[in-house]
Amino acid sequence: MIVVTGAAGFIGSCLISGLNELGYKDLVLVDDFSKTEKAPNLDGKEFSKQIDRSEFHDWLEENNKLVYFIFHIGARTDTTEFDTSIFDKLNLNYTKKVWNQCIEYGIPLVYASSGATYGLGEHGYSDSHDIVEKLKPLNPYGDSKNDFDKWALKQEKSPYFWAGLKFFNVYGPNEYHKGRMASVIFHAFNQIKRDGLVKLFRSHNPEYKDGEQLRDFIYVKDVVDVCLFLMEHRKNSGLYNLGTGKARTFLDLAKATFKALDLEPNIQFIDTPEDIRDKYQYYTQAEMDKLRSIGYDKEFTSLEDGVDDYVKNYLKEQKYY
């Protein structure tokens, strides 16, 4: 059995599709399945069992001998949530319990960290363990992810293989339920369909022109490929960035979305809201040497190719992966 937590969510449900495509059908899905808006993400997927996240630890205690691998993707990911107790419960303490059970039962673990741990990038974007204590995330979500990374690195005992993946700006199918937390591509597509234009934040930093703020956008299918590689690799434990290693502008993203729809670009700029202006990231770019050094050699999907696939094969048809 392979366990996927956060199974009904964006990345988790795409990972299930990737596992199914490789012939893995004996999957245990863990999530809060009462959230019906996420249910379509699991339509057509093949798996053995669904377990409510509140019951998972007890289930694992009884069934650990059957478990081959755990992908702990589940987390509270709302960057606008400021109730730290929610993040302590769902992101920090829940993951500590999973970690300790993996040690006790000899189960390898991949868990979701985040590029949000890097804050404004004052210390760069290296996934070296040496800078983890110095990082200053910009919100409680980023803090919760960095707090777990710090805790994990201090532990005398760890799962025999573990990897914490620092996801950068992930986009792609199965994010229909995410609302305002969905990717910019998702919102751009819907703006174009509704209004015939895309609105991007104006730059309030003299070093960047409007629309030339930079992000490392990674297609969710590449995220799945890396997860599957690590499941087979199972050595070289540690924290790993998961981006493309190539920052692109929001203008590039908007133009790619228009192109995928065979439309001429129509882009307007609006002021960045004042309440997030001082915490706005103008540049993120994952350093990817570490993942490459352990043997991952697959090319990452270009922004243009990823947006084209996402728009034409999923968003236009309202389909799921």
- Give the pLDDT confidence of 113-172 residue by residue, as tens digits: 999 999 999 999 999 999 999 999 988 888 999 999 999 999 999 999 999 999 999 999
Catalytic residue among 141, 171, 219, 240: 141
Is the pLDDT confidence value at 277 over 90?
Answer: no
Q: What percent of the chain has pLDDT over 70?
A: 98
∠ CA 80-81-85, rounded to 5°: 155
On the CB side of 240, CA atoms within 13 Å amount to: 28
- CB atoms closer than 10 angstroms to residue 277: 12
Ordered by where they begin, the domains of the chain are: 2-171+218-246+285-300 (3.40.50.720)
Look up 178 and say whether it is catalytic: yes
Q: Which member of 96, 178, 199, 246 is catalytic?
A: 178
pLDDT bucket at 180, cuts 50 / 70 / 90 = confident
Torsion angle of the four alpha carbons 254, 209, 302, 167, in this order, in degrees rounded to the nearest 10? -100
Encode pLDDT of 289-301 as tens digits. 999 999 999 999 9
pTM of the shown model: 0.95
Parallel/antiparallel/unpaired status of strands 214-215 and 162-167: unpaired
Could you confirm whether 283 is annotated as catalytic?
no
What is the band of 84 on the pLDDT scale with cuts at 50, 70, 90?
confident
The answer to whether the CB of 30 falls within 8 A of the CB of 56 is: yes
Q: Is the pLDDT of residue 81 over 70?
A: no
| Range in 33-37, 82-86, 214-218 with the lowest mean pLDDT | 82-86
Q: Is the pLDDT of residue 58 over 80?
A: yes
pLDDT at 23 over 70: yes
Note the Cα 84 to chain centre separation in Å.
20
Residue 281: pLDDT band (50, 70, 90) is: confident
Instruction: Report the C-alpha gap between 43 and 61 in whole angstroms.
Output: 28
